[in-house]
Structure 1
Amino acid sequence: MLECYHLDPKLVYLEVIRFIMNMAKALNMQVISEEIETKEQAELIYDMGCDFAQGYYYSKPRPFV
């Protein structure tokens, strides 16, 4: 018998992000995270080993000068 359990979408997304970041690192690539809007998101990707990040948490978009 197959039992299905409800998976928290947030946990699924985090595992996908973690997998992609690990794959990039294994290929000696640097990782950039976009759309970072909160301190919690910034801390999470930092803890995951992200190399660079951008988003409203850091600065609103600015025009080219």
Structure 2
Amino acid sequence: MYIAEAISMADRVIVLSKRPAFVKSIHTINLTLENERTPLSSREAPEFRHYFNTIWKELDVHVR
């Protein structure tokens, strides 16, 4: 589960449910960048944190 990596490298992120899996949501990633998009520059985009927090909440992860 590498949310930051998915957001910084993908054009969209698909969140799946627990088994049996179904698609919970699809996020089209649109980042505002001044220069070329790279994994590092993507993390500096103002929208990055919003995508990260939204996807994290949708995953409903409980560490045991």
Q: Give your verdict on TM over 0.5.
A: no
Please state which structure has a larger fraction of its residues in helix.
1
Q: Which has the higher contact order (CA 8 A, sep 6+)?
A: 2
TM range (shorter): under 0.3
TM-score (norm 1): 0.24
For the pair shown, which has the larger CA radius of gyration, 1 or 2? 1
Please state which structure has a larger fraction of its residues in strand.
2
